[in-house]
Amino acid sequence: MAKVKNGDVTEGISLLRSGLTTYRATGAEARVPYYVALLARACEIAGQIEEAVTLLDDALQIVDRTGERWLAAELNRHKGQLLLLRQGHSEAAEELYRKSLTIAREQEAKLWELRAAVSLARLRREQGRRAQACDLLAPVYGWFTEGFDTPDLKEAKALLDELR
């Protein structure tokens, strides 16, 4: 992923694909959804949105099959973001964001809950539902007592300030 983030997208994607293929050839399934999600993010950066959606679908199928759910909330949220990039998919994105939020709350995964709440609040803001967006995000943000200099909390705070 470092190569992708440093601008060598083609080489980075190639390395991610190769590494994932090699890892899966061992028969291992642990952490595969995470590795697939990394490849999906790289494809997104490369503008390969359809490929990224397909990869996230694969990762979600692995989650369902193996029960390795620690990343399920984030996978659903990321897929929702990608669907928004394809115009006309706001209902599907909203459904995925709500699913992400539910999973995160069930797991008491506060970071994933915050990210899902930010994504859903942004969508509601774009739909003209600013009060609902603020009501959704404020209590999730309010749960945190430290880490306010992290990118996720900074992003949430900026969105809350905008909504208020």
pLDDT of residue 86: 81
Torsion of CA 116, 121, 126, 132, to 10 degrees: 140
Dist CA 12 CA 98 (whole Å): 32
| Domain-ending residue, one of 15, 40, 68 | 68
Choosing from 16, 38, 68, the residue where a domain stops is 68
The range of the structural domain enclosing residue 24 comes to 1-68
Rounded CA-CA distance 114/25 in Å is 35
Q: Given the structure tokens 């028969």, which residue do they identify?
A: 27
Tens-digit pLDDT profile for the chain (164 aa)? 776 777 767 888 999 999 999 999 999 889 999 999 999 999 999 999 999 999 999 999 999 999 999 999 999 999 999 999 887 678 999 999 999 999 999 999 999 999 999 999 999 999 999 999 999 999 999 999 999 999 999 999 999 999 99
Judgement on whether residues 14 and 54 belong to the same structural domain of the protein: yes
Give the CATH number for residue 14: 1.25.40
Residues 64 and 92 in one domain: no
Question: Which residues have a Cβ under 8 Å from the Cβ of 98 and sit 6 or more positions away?
Answer: 120
What pLDDT shows up at residue 57?
A: 97
140 located within any domain: yes
Residue 79 lies in a domain: no
How is residue 109 annotated by DSSP?
-
In a domain, 73, yes or no: no
**Domains in the chain: how many in total?**
2
